[in-house]
């Protein structure tokens, strides 16, 4: 199911933000900036492919 794929990605992002425990705008901004490092290119490709955005 496509929804599960995006839910997995959002769960990973939310877990990262909780772990960061950012209590200031600057800390939150840094934590958000680190999100790109959470996902390997192949993982991103897999999410897009599962959602039907990439040709097989």
Residue with tokens 């999410």: 47
Q: How far apart are CA 53 and CA 16, in angstroms?
A: 25
Q: So what's the pLDDT on residue 3?
A: 61
Q: What is the pTM of this model?
A: 0.71
Q: So what's the pLDDT on residue 1?
A: 47
Q: So what's the pLDDT on residue 4?
A: 81
What is the mean pLDDT, run by run of 10 residues, along the chain of 56 residues?
A: 76 94 94 92 88 73
DSSP 51: T
């Amino acid at each position: 199911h496509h929804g599960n794929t995006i839910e997995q990605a959002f769960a990973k992002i939310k877990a990262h933000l909780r772990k960061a425990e950012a209590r200031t705008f600057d800390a939150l901004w840094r934590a958000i900036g680190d999100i790109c490092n959470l996902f390997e290119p192949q993982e991103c490709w897999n999410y897009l492919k599962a959602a039907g955005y990439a040709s097989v």
